[in-house]
Amino acid sequence: MSALDEIRVVFFQECDEQLQELEDGLTAMSDGQTDDDTVNRVFRAVHSIKGGAGAFDLTKLVKFAHVFETVLDEVRSHRLEAGDTVMPVMLRSADHLRDMVAAGRDGAEGDLARSKELIDELEALIGGPKGGGHGDEEGADEDGGMALADFEFTPVAVDWSAMGLDTGLEAGMDAPTFDADAPAVRIAFKPHRDLYAKANEATVLLREVSGLGEATITCDTSEVPLLDAIDPEGAYLSFAVDLDGDEVSEAKVREIFEFAEWDCDLTLTASAGAMPAIDLDALGDAGGFSVADLLARLQTEIVTDGEAPELPPAAAAPVPAEKAEPEAKPAERAEGESAAKAEAPAAVIRVELHRVDKLIDLVGELVTTQTMLAQKVEEAGLPTGSEVVSSIEELDRLTRTLQDSVMAVRAQPVKSVFQRMPRLVREVAAATGKKVAFVSKGENTEVDKTVVERLSDPLTHMIRNAIDHGLEKPEDRVAKGKPAEGTVTLSAAHRSGRIIIEISDDGAGINRPKVKQIAIDKGLIAADAILSDEETDQLVMLPGFSTATTVSAISGRGVGMDVVKQSIEALGGRLAIASRPGLGSSFTMSLPLTLAVLDGMIVKVGEETLVVPLSAIVFTFRPQAEELQSLGHGRTVNVRDAIVPLVDVGVELGFRPEPADPLTSVAILVDCDNNRRIALLVDEIRGQRQVVIKSLEKNYRPVPGISAATISGEGRVALIVDVDAMAGDKTLDGFIFGIEQAAAE
């Protein structure tokens, strides 16, 4: 891979970050947060994408982003209100910008017809193309921009100082010489016309440079011709920068210019001296004003009676001293500086994923080896205070700390998946003619990267179902006394060592009689089947089940929730459904935080060693005779005045034909999905260990009641019990339902 290819990869990675920033900002604006900080954040995201795209000749992307940026500039200048008319167009534009970035990554241009349609909508918001023309009119260039001949203007001499551009140099003056004091880096920077054509801004680059340390910047205007000879796309200014600071280095400066280095003359040297300063605020902020913008404006506005054309606020002349705000007090400055430091983003490095995976695998092997050593020491019967035992305990502590640190490297917030959902909601709402408010919570909840990557499809299915099947039409909601706009909520949280993701709606809920009848008609259940409400709700996850009466792009093919269930179970998770008729439904996914390591309790069942996930265990106890009772074909145990099923793990997994004696066994009370509890009966408890998870599906085949495997301290394969599968196994459904009915009676 060439250096340019590597830079291209980094650019598209950064585009993903900017697109997420754009989505966040527009969502906030839709919720009424139209403060300057939010709008500027959105503007900078589009501007950054446009600038990088220009460096890789993605002209169609640059054109679309430029129009989008222009509308955002009107909003941030308070000339356009981000209201109900504007926001839907900008949200659709953000979606299309994401599509164009994806197309550019693949070497394509994207949907150009869609681009034109959205450009027309964007320009309509600001009364037509900037400058008064349109790309389809005669005289436009091939990219839809206006040609120089389309503007009528009278050339005049311009007083640059009146514009607030005190450059410190008169035209034709020689550049000042340097003093003896040597700065860390001396920068000579002369942009070419291609730099501006690719949507880069010299002022933005200079602003970034000044952020590295103390910068003294001089602008040389000696090459600027008279106005009647100016090429509006030309580049006449050059800059010299003295940059000082402890952290200043040539590498950091070159990093700032990495997308523009081909389109400018750039010289970095160790030099001496200080130079007259140029006020960067006079040159404008990122995207607010540039010399190119000034030249373009001078061609469209006739200057009369000696009046200078109106410039954006960023380019206004400095405020006179008597009108300037008083300087902040030292305490105020210190407080502002500390706040800025607190908000500074953490340093980030990019590491190839396979390297992280290899490191995690090695840590997993270390955990296994440490477990074996601990087992051998325990078998040797060494005294607790011996040096060997102490060393093994210290190794255990260090191994656990190392494992936690390495797993944290793979941990990612679910935000990357959640941020794709607002677009999906808008598209499905538009397709179904429904009004939908989307609410997301807990998007910073972290989970293993592998889990994050595989969440997108299940969430997409469930959110589409929530809108299509869950929410009523606006007129139906109003008739029921509900708001016309329905709400779909997506939330994530950590609970008991797992991540819980819930998709809920305030729609009509599951129509259980209809669901049951459809299942009977499709032959999925017997006509005389007696089902609890929970079991009826579970029917929607059977293969081939669908409540849709017509096939559409959204639903109706009988493929959906069963695929969702399989995807979640493949991750070692479970899907639970809860519904209240007329009030809405919720679908809850319970997933492991990581697919690599877990804390488990080692138990013995017959001749087999099993592992019960520690996160599911409430407590252990020995059943007493007065607490036991038989119900149907099973047994129950009274635990703290609550009746729970007593499940013999050995019988359920086929390790022995006859149930064990509960009075000589140990019971483990565990939490399951749907807020249920069961007691697992095992022969004995061997201890607690941190174990490395090995997939059975990849290495063998799925085993009912078993979620994965590991290597025990003896070096043998130990199976990890799937607690939720034990509670939800079909042989237990009727038993548990019977217990619930008995408790209700």
Can you state the angle between helices 421-432 and 3-30, rounded to 10 degrees?
A: 60
Judged against a pLDDT cut of 70, whether residue 267 lies above it is answered with yes
Distances (CA, A) of 27 to 2, 43, 430, 462: 38, 14, 17, 21
Domains 3-150 and 414-592 share a fold: no
Judged against a pLDDT cut of 50, whether residue 140 lies above it is answered with no
Q: Which CATH class is domain 597-744?
A: mainly beta
Could you tell me which residues are beta bridge partners of residue 503?
490, 587
Q: Quick one: pLDDT band at residue 729, thresholds 50, 70, 90?
A: very low
Mean pLDDT of the chain: 75
Could you tell me which residues are beta bridge partners of residue 485?
435
Judged against a pLDDT cut of 50, whether residue 274 lies above it is answered with no
- 84 vs 684, more confident: 684
Q: pLDDT digits over 646-681, tens only?
A: 889 888 888 888 888 888 899 999 887 656 788 999
Angstrom distance (rounded) from CA 384 to CA 419: 52
Read off the pLDDT of each residue in 401-422 and give the average, rounded to a whole number.
Answer: 81
The tokens describing 502, both together, are 């819930």
Quote the percentage of the chain above a pLDDT of 70.
75
The single-letter DSSP state of residue 470 is I
Q: Which of 136, 79, 253, 117 is nearest to 183 (CA)?
A: 253
**Statement: 3-150 belongs to CATH 1.20.120.160:** yes
Residue 744 pLDDT? 53
Ramachandran quadrant class, 275 (left: phi over 0; alpha: psi -120 to 50; beta: rest): beta
Angstrom distance (rounded) from CA 45 to CA 561: 36
Q: Which CATH class is domain 414-592?
A: alpha beta
The one-letter amino acid at 202 = A
Q: Which of 448, 491, 470, 500 is nearest to 675 (CA)?
A: 500
Could you tell me which residues are beta bridge partners of residue 611?
602, 720
Residue 279 pLDDT? 44
Judged against a pLDDT cut of 80, whether residue 556 lies above it is answered with no
Q: Is 602 exposed, middle or buried (0-12, 13-18, 19+ CB in 10 A)?
A: buried
Q: Quick one: pLDDT band at residue 546, thresholds 50, 70, 90?
A: low
**Among 16-30, 167-181, 476-490, 614-628, the least confident range:** 167-181
pTM to 2 decimal places: 0.54
What HEC string does 170-230 produce? CCCCCCCCCCCCCCCEEEEEEECHHHHHCCCCHHHHHHHHHCCCEEEEEEECCCCCCHHHC
Residue 675 pLDDT? 64
Angstrom distance (rounded) from CA 535 to CA 530: 9
Which residues, including other chains, have CB under 8 Å from residue 41's CB and lie 6 or more apart? 21, 24, 25
Angstrom distance (rounded) from CA 135 to CA 679: 72
DSSP string, 662-681: GGGSEEEEEE-GGG-EEEEE
Residue 320 pLDDT? 41
Distances (CA, A) of 252 to 37, 210, 738: 27, 12, 70
Q: pLDDT digits over 571-596, tens only?
A: 777 788 888 888 888 888 888 776 66
Would you say 610 and 600 are in contact if contact means Cβ atoms under 8 Å apart? Answer: no
Residue 489 pLDDT? 93
Length reported for the chain: 745
Q: pLDDT digits over 7-47, tens only?
A: 788 888 888 888 888 888 888 888 888 888 888 888 888 88
Can you state the angle between helices 86-105 and 59-76, rounded to 10 degrees?
A: 150
Can you state the angle between helices 86-105 and 421-432, rounded to 10 degrees?
A: 120
Residue 384 pLDDT? 76
Read off the pLDDT of each residue in 196-201 and give the average, rounded to a whole number.
Answer: 78
The vertex-540 CA angle with 539 and 541, nearest 5°, equals 90
Q: pLDDT digits over 321-335, tens only?
A: 343 444 444 444 444
Ramachandran quadrant class, 485 (left: phi over 0; alpha: psi -120 to 50; beta: rest): beta
- 302 vs 706, more confident: 706
Rounded to the nearest 10°, the torsion over CA 171, 235, 11, 44 is 60
Which residues, including other chains, have CB under 8 Å from residue 571's CB and lie 6 or more apart? 451, 454, 591, 592, 595
Pairing of strands 608-613, 717-721: parallel
Which residue ranges make up each domain of the chain?
3-150, 160-306, 353-398, 414-592, 597-744
Q: pLDDT digits over 199-210, tens only?
A: 778 888 888 888
Q: Quick one: pLDDT band at residue 109, thresholds 50, 70, 90?
A: confident
